[in-house]
Structure 1
Amino acid sequence: MSTSHELSLAGRTALVVGGSTGIGRGIADAWAAAGADVTVLSRSTPAGPGHEALRWAPLDLSDTGAARTALADATTDALSLVCYSAVHYGDRRALFDEVTEPEWRRQLEVNLHGLWMTLHATLPVLRGGEEPGLFLGVSSEVVYNAGPGRSGYAATKAAGAALLDSVAQEEKGEKVRIVQVLPAGMVDTPGIRRRRPADFSYDSYMRPDHFGRVATELAATSGAGLHGDSLVVDEAGRWVSAHERTPVSQSRDVVA
């Protein structure tokens, strides 16, 4: 297996939806470091080390009309790599009766409808290249492990995974390959930090850059041999198919 620094994505054009922070940012940084021309669409501007290597345009998935325009503007004929990593977890884990309708609708808009819009905008272009295009979806263990306090997140992420699985069966991997990746454990991201106490230790958490190796190899090979698969990525950057090993649940009891 090649290491990510041995792989070149020079000449490739990539789009990462939800790539300013978190796993999406880890993937965007890795693709850019390997030579790809990477555009990030997100609500916030990418910051910190490596941001200068990324193009950026604003995207608010709750504004459907503006989101369609942003996606259309970012979908150039040269596009061959797309990652969808936009996610709305919710303000905190909460029992079903505590979740408001606006919160539920926000999860639908970002976790599911945004994915649908991105597929709709980019698949025609990904099909048009000399080599198969790659659509990389960022999934979650909650797809396999529904749990208390995460009903909306679990439902929308499971629906998103099923959407990608269904489209993968339609595409058959001939012109577009669809692969999903998900973390083996919790990941240290700004979204998670907003939900943790100030003195919380993240020593046992994964980092977004742990996804750089798998993302770069998938991009370099256009997902060859992995079309339709979901890969569980660990803290060493190694991966295994979720069909071979069910991801460990991150659920816990939630007190009303």
Structure 2
Amino acid sequence: MTTGAGVDEQRTVAEAVAAARPPYEPLAGRTALITGGSRGLGREIAIAFAAAGADVALVSRKREACEALAGEIAAATGRRVTAHAAHVGDWDRLGTLLDEVAEELGEVDVLVNNAGIAPLYPSLDEVTEDLFDKVIAVNLKGPFRLMAAAGRRMAARDGGVILNISSIASSRPTAADLPYAAAKAALNTLTAGFAQEYGPTVRVNTILAGPFFTDISKAWDMDAFGAMAEEWPAQRGGDPSEITGAALYLCGPAASYTTGALLAVDGGRLAAP
């Protein structure tokens, strides 16, 4: 049966099931670079990617934290995992970082822009220029630089995948996180632009992360958070491991026709009143 000109005959259910079944290691043979990779969501993504067959470069400002985690992941998965010290707000360092990873693991096939900061401030009129610049540097300038440099290298080879970790704050900003929310909203815009620039061989997507119980959650008022979460479909915050399904999908072969997309992983927070 055909559904229109140029459309192949409909597959049988058996053929469809065989095509949909993911490979045992969907990221086998890939090299993934993950910023903010030593803790939080980055740590969980790094573990999941190595378990899925990827060699992984962990990046954060503190090499020691990356080295400790790299050793644990390598021992558990048998994959090559390297540690790299870099501040993602340092424009010039990011170019040498890609060379460094390529020398140790091979050219980057998967880039995950996960590093982010959302410092507290008393009020909007008390946000300092230094705080504002740091938020933009880590959440926007660094991802732009890495996407531009890594995307060009990917496009010149066999392609690759870029995944940005944004936030639902980009759609639901508050006075308490406005510089962060603005930077993440701009990151969403970069996703669409870079998908156009480096397609069709490079896919660029973004996860809009909701509230996860990472290190940052230690500063939350849990009573207030619990009352707020009751209004969401999931009625809770997320465990960091719950980010990995979406990350593996968007960076793996099952998402071959998905690019320029924003995927909310937020327990339904964006759907709530």
The change in CA–CA distance for 1:17 and 1:49 in structure 2 (over 3 A counts) is closer
Q: 1:13 aligned to 2:37? A: no
Candidates 219, 233, 244, aligned match of 2:251:
219
User: For 2:205, which of 176, 179, 197 is the aligned residue?
Assistant: 179
**Counterpart position of 1:238:** none
Choose between structure 1 and 2 for higher RCO, CA contacts under 8 A separated by at least 6 residues: 1
**Conserved in 2, the CA contact under 8 Å of 1:7 and 1:220?**
no
Q: Select 2:213's aligned residue among 185, 188, 191.
A: 188
Rounded to whole Å, the distance in 2 between the matches of 1:50 and 1:187 is 25
Aligned partner letter, 1:29 = I
Deviations 1:119-175 (A, max 9, x none): 122112221343x4110111111111122221111111111111121121233x311
Within 2, Cα distance between the matches of 1:180 and 1:88? 17
Q: Is the 8 A contact 1:19 1:85 kept in 2?
A: yes
Is residue 88 of structure 2 the alignment partner of residue 61 of structure 1? Answer: yes
CA distance in 2, matches of 1:23, 1:4: 23
Partner of 1:104: 132
- Is structure 2 residue 191 aligned with structure 1 residue 170? no
- The structure in which a higher percent of residues are helix is 2
TM-score (norm 2): 0.75
Alignment length, in residue pairs?
A: 236
Partner SS state of residue 156, structure 2: coil
Partner of 2:149, secondary structure, is helix
| Structure 1 residue corresponding to 2:111, chosen from 78, 82, 93 | 82
RMSD: 3.1
In 2, the alpha carbon distance for the partners of 1:55 and 1:230 equals 29
- Which residue of the other structure, out of 118, 142, 167, is the alignment partner of 1:114? 142
Q: Is the 8 A contact 1:15 1:41 kept in 2?
A: yes
How far 1:49 moved relative to its partner? 9.5
Alpha-carbon distance change, 51 to 94 in structure 1, aligned in 2, over 3 angstroms:
farther
Name the CA shift for 1:3/1:191 in 2 (closer, same or farther; >3 Å): farther
State the match for 1:253 in structure 2. none
* Structure 2 alignment gaps of length 5 or more: 1-16, 75-80, 227-234
1:140-179 correspondence to structure 2 within 5 Å? 140-171=167-198, 173-179=199-205
**In the aligned structure 2, how far is the partner of 1:166 from the partner of 1:94?**
34
Identity of aligned residues (%): 30
CA change 1:206–1:93 in 2 (3 A) is farther
> Aligned equivalents of 1:142 and 1:198: distance in 2?
18
Conservation of the 8 A alpha-carbon contact between 2:101 and 2:107: no
User: Which letter does structure 2 place at the counterpart of 1:52?
Assistant: I
CA distance in 1 between counterparts of 2:178 and 2:272 reads 14
Distance in 2, Cα, partners of 1:157 & 1:249: 20
Change (3 A) 1:66 1:125: closer
- In structure 1, distance between residues paired with 2:180 and 2:21: 33
The structure having more radius of gyration, on CA atoms, is 2
Q: Kindly tell me: are residues 121 and 9 of structure 1, through their superposed partners in 2, closer, same or farther at Cα, counting changes over 3 Å? A: same
**In the superposition, relative to structure 1, how do residues 79 and 68 fare at CA in structure 2: closer, same or farther (>3 Å)?**
closer
1:74, distance to aligned residue in structure 2 (A): 2.2
Name the TM-score, length of structure 1 as normaliser. Answer: 0.79
CA distance in 2, matches of 1:59, 1:200: 36
Which residue of 52, 58, 80 corresponds with 2:73? 52
Note closer, same or farther for the CA distance 1:133–1:5 as it changes in structure 2 (3 Å cut): closer
